[in-house]
């Protein structure tokens, strides 16, 4: 029996784990009490890593389509088919002939994260679609416009200082269920706020588990958050509650912000957001006068019609009340691996990247990505350049809006290559499936999520188990894809690894203001050694980062070798004020009134009196679920049916619905059947269905999930369109009709 320390790779919380292994079998998974951040906390998903690794449905060998059927084959054969089919497409159609759909799990693989972004740049890929535009792109857009950014891997998020704040406002966040970025082990940390005399306010259409323990719950109407917080901002200005003495010199656009929200009085927005005017005023006063206040918005705040504006107000309110860049308020993490706000010239940056190319339908690129909600239309349009689709760790047939149209697009595209563990609702359409290793068979380092945490910490973990003989890592698969798409032919894949590393080195050394500007790129490459693989790229980013040794210029600084000597990681200290050096805006100041966001307020103003319709639907998080890919783990599927349609008693009675009965839910996109759950925790006029379900149809290899198919929320989404500034699909607030089903 051996015990291994690792990090849970399933969500952004990144809990520390101890895993016991006996003769290659995972026999126990538990929280690591010595982890400096999570301190033994573990959720049911973490314990399910055992079931995920040993899942008999998980793919171990590639599949290729022959005579209409997916059949198991060797890696050599599968890669040969990849070259034979994909090579001519890229040769004839160029980079735009290949679309990429990249999923959330890739953010946990440091090799794909570091090298993949560079590979896409070198390939000239513009048809890039990721889970960001069905999740957190509004945060990246608002933060990028206000603080600076250059792509989706490099932006500056101001995190809520959970452990020191006296007032925490949660928008569209059920922290007790989702754990939420930066709120690991949430119950104890939230209770600590109240125990030190602080308060918690939850803004959400549902009185969820977190709202039940909060001091105040405001049941906002779906899609009304931006109007609500525009009015909060208005009250703060009108009642002279601003505290600009701390940050005034670092803020640009304060008067423009005041003018922009002048029409959003509490009375003007009350109908749209469903909150009484006096309650709006009290919320504004409490935020402005609290000893310290932090505002945290999660997926519920972002996947709505005005997601970017909601996050903008979250940051802007913190700025004008003096809660930005202060303990107890909102602070910027200082990640170990070269983050955007630790690179280049401190306090200065380039304009926010957006609109450099567009979809066939005219939707702009944002931070190097196109909206995932537009991918199906991009493929199905008559003049589409897209002939091949590469999906990596993504199940768009269940995670993308209007999933029926997404599946229609899968049926049209000439070639589909999927990198995935499972034969699921998306990969069943693939021509080639390349399975990556189990998460326990790869080394772990979180590059992306260390930019979002509420404390500075860095940790490396060796793989718990050896990779299966003859299999390919994600990095190895990336090199194979790069070889075909770049026309490298039979070039040694190690040489391609060297090319990507060289590009990474030149990118860091040659950017203006680089801490490595004094070095010759060739000297840096020699320092990184000749042992090929993704570790060299991570070592580069650590050594060029805020704590790094800068390749000898700062003796004793961090390197990957040094990090490996700390099995529990290194606690780099609490978040600290970082203005103005953290900024990467052209002005060198916090842009509290970015022009694209001020302009988008017109849509909010014009919709203040809109009829919301009889019923609208929202999604919800579940502790034992993660998007669409953990429903095949028996330990997570025990107990009663969790994929239910929650509906208020009054709405249920008016439709003749009984608890536990079956109903039909219909939108302009489609229709599903769901089990009714009557509860007064949901706001009248709103129904809720969890996302990621709908495991049905031919061609699946999901023996457990198929026994618990559930209802596919994204068969209903799509008609509500996009959050304009970010291109994020609107999932919350879609109008639906609900009817009883006679049995």
CATH at residue 661? 2.40.40.20
Tell me which residue range forms the domain holding 708. 613-740
- Same domain? 588 vs 691: no
Per-residue pLDDT, 206: 96
- Do 232 and 325 have their domain in common? yes
What is the chain's alpha carbon radius of gyration, rounded to the nearest angstrom?
A: 25
Does a structural domain hold residue 517?
Answer: no
Helix H segments across 67-157? 75-93, 110-123, 137-147
CA distances from 685 to 271, 377, 409 (A): 13, 31, 33
Same domain, 586 and 644: no
Phi first, then psi: give them for residue 416, nearest 5 degrees.
-125, 125
Structure-derived torsion over alpha carbons of residues 35, 37, 41, 42, reported in degrees to the nearest 10: -80
Q: What is the mean pLDDT of the chain?
A: 94
Residue 27's pLDDT is what?
Answer: 92
- pLDDT for res 152: 64
Cis bond leading into 676, ω under 30°? Answer: no
Q: What is the DSSP letter of 444?
A: B
Q: What is the pLDDT of residue 257?
A: 98
Identify the pLDDT of residue 626. Answer: 78
Instruction: Tell me what pLDDT residue 743 has.
Output: 67
The per-type count for the chain, helices as H runs and strands as E runs, is 24, 32
Task: Average the pLDDT over each of 41-55, 134-148, 187-201, 521-535 and give the range with the smallest value.
Answer: 41-55
Residue 647 lies in a domain: yes
Report if residue 421 sits inside a domain.
no
Q: Are residues 585 and 623 in the same domain?
A: no
Count CB-CB contacts under 10 A for residue 22.
10
> Of all residues in the chain, what percent carry a pLDDT higher than 70?
99
Q: What is the mean pLDDT of residues 676-698?
A: 96
Task: Please report the pLDDT score of residue 197 as a whole number.
Answer: 97
Quick check: is 730 in a domain?
Answer: yes
Statement to judge: residues 586 and 643 lie in one domain:
no
Q: Look at residue 714 in the predicted model and tell me its pLDDT.
A: 96
Residues 445 and 460 sit within 8 Å (Cβ to Cβ): yes
Residues 585 and 698 in one domain: no
257, 293: one domain: yes
Do 178 and 289 lie in one domain? The reply is yes
The domain boundary, picked from 605, 622, 653, lies at 605
Res. 663: pLDDT tops 70: yes
Give the integer Cα–Cα distance in Å for 66 and 48: 34
Element (H, E) at 202: strand 199-203
Last residue of one domain, picked from the residues 605, 622, 648? 605
For residues 598 and 643, membership in a common domain is answered with: no
Q: pLDDT category, 460, cuts 50, 70, 90?
A: very high
Contacts of 547 (CB under 8 A, 6+ apart): 336, 458, 557, 558, 572
Specify the number of domains making up the chain: 2
Secondary-structure breakdown of the chain: helix, strand, coil percentages, each rounded to the nearest 5: 35, 20, 45
Give the containing element (helix H, strand E) for 234: helix 225-238
Q: Are residues 282 and 193 in the same domain?
A: yes
State the Cα–Cα distance between residues 15 and 307, nearest whole angstrom. Answer: 28
The whole-number average pLDDT for the span 532-558 is 96
As a whole number, mean pLDDT of residues 176-188 equals 79
Average pLDDT rounded to a whole number, residues 191-204 = 97
Would you place residue 651 in the very low, low, confident or very high pLDDT band (cuts 50, 70, 90)?
Answer: very high
Which range is least confidently modeled, 40-54, 163-177, 643-657? 40-54
pLDDT bin (cut points 50, 70, 90) of residue 451 is confident
Here the CATH number for the domain that contains residue 272 is 3.40.228.10
Give the chain's largest Cα–Cα span. Answer: 75
Query: How confident is the model at residue 720, as a pLDDT?
Result: 84
705 assigned to some structural domain: yes
pLDDT at 153 over 70: no
| Domain shared by 590 and 688, yes or no | no
Same domain (yes/no): 627, 734: yes
Whether residue 349 is contained in a domain is answered as no
pTM (2 d.p.): 0.96
**Percent residues over pLDDT 90 in the chain:** 83
In a domain, 536, yes or no: no
In a domain, 261, yes or no: yes
pLDDT at 150 over 80: no
DSSP assignment string, 559-579: -HHHHTT-TT-EEEES----T
> Of 443, 552, 357, 376, nearest to 4 (Cα)?
443
């Amino acid at each position: 029996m051996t015990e291994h320390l690792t990090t849970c790779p399933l969500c952004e919380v990144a809990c520390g784990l101890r895993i016991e292994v006996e003769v290659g079998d995972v026999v126990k998974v538990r929280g690591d009490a010595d982890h400096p951040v999570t301190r033994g906390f573990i959720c049911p998903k973490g314990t399910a890593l055992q079931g995920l690794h040993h899942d008999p449905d998980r793919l171990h060998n590639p599949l290729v389509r022959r005579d209409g059927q997916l059949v198991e084959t060797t890696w050599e054969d599968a890669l040969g088919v990849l070259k034979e089919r994909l090579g001519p497409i890229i040769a004839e159609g160029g980079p735009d002939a290949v679309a990429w759909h990249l999923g959330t799990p890739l953010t946990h693989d440091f090799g794909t994260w570091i090298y993949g972004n560079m590979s896409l740049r070198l390939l000239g890929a513009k048809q890039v679609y990721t889970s960001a535009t069905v999740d957190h792109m509004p945060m990246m857009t608002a933060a990028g416009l206000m603080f600076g950014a250059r792509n989706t891997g490099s932006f500056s998020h101001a995190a809520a200082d959970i452990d020191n704040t006296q007032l925490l406002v949660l928008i569209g966040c059920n922290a007790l269920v989702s754990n939420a970025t930066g709120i690991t082990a949430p119950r104890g940390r939230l209770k600590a706020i109240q125990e030190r005399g602080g308060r918690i306010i939850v803004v959400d259409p549902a009185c969820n588990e977190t709202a039940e323990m909060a001091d105040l719950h405001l049941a906002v109407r779906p899609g009304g958050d931006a109007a609500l917080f525009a009015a909060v901002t208005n009250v703060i200005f009108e009642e002279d509650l601003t505290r600009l003495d701390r940050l005034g010199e670092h803020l640009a656009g304060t008067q423009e912000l005041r003018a922009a929200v002048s029409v959003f009085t509490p009375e003007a927005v009350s109908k749209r957001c469903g909150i009484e005017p006096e309650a709006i005023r009290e919320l504004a006063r409490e935020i402005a006068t609290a000893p310290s206040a932090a505002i945290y918005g999660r997926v519920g705040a972002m996947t709505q019609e005005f997601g970017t504006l909601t996050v903008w107000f979250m940051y802007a309110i913190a700025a004008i009340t003096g809660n930005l860049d202060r303990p107890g308020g909102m602070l910027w993490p200082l990640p170990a691996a070269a983050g955007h706000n630790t690179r280049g010239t401190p306090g200065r940056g380039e304009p926010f990247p957006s609109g450099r190319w567009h979809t066939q339908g005219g939707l702009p690129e944002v931070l190097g990505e196109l909206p995932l909600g537009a991918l199906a239309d991009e493929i199905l349009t008559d003049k589409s350049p897209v002939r091949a689709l590469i999906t990596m760790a993504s199940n768009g047939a269940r995670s993308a809006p209007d999933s029926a149209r997404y599946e229609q697009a899968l049926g049209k595209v000439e070639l589909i290559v999927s990198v995935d563990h499972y034969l699921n609702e998306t990969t069943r359409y693939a021509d080639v499936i390349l399975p990556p290793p189990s998460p326990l068979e790869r080394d772990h380092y979180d590059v992306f999520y260390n930019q979002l945490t509420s404390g500075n910490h860095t940790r490396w973990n060796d793989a718990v188990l050896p990779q299966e003989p003859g299999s390919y890592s994600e990095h190895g698969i990336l090199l194979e894809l790069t070889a075909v798409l770049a026309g490298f032919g039979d070039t040694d894949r190690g040489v391609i690894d060297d090319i990507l590393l060289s590009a990474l080195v030149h990118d860091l050394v040659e950017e203006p203001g680089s801490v490595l500007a004094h070095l010759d790129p060739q000297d840096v490459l020699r320092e990184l050694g000749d042992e090929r693989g993704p570790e060299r790229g991570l070592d580069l980013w650590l050594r060029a980062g805020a704590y790094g040794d800068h390749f000898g210029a700062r003796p004793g600084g961090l390197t990957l070798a040094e990090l490996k000597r700390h099995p529990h990681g290194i606690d780099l200290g609490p978040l600290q004020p970082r203005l103005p050096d953290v900024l990467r805006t052209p002005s060198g100041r916090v842009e509290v009134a970015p022009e694209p966001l001020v302009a988008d307020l017109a849509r909010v103003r014009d919709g203040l009196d809109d009829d919301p319709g009889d019923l609208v639907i929202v999604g919800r998080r579940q502790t034992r679920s993660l998007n669409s890919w953990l429903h095949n783990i028996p330990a997570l599927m025990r107990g009663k049916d969790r994929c239910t349609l929650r509906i208020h008693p009054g709405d249920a009675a008016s439709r003749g619905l009984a608890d536990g009965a079956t109903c039909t839910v219909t939108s302009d996109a489609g229709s599903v059947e769901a089990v009714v759950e009557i509860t007064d925790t949901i706001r009248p006029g709103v129904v809720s269905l969890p996302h990621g379900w709908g495991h049905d149809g031919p061609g699946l290899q999901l023996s457990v999930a198929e026994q618990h198919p559930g209802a596919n929320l994204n068969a209903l989404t799509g008609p509500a369109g996009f959050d304009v500034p970010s291109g994020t699909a609107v999932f919350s607030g879609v109008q639906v009709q609900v009817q009883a089903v006679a049995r």
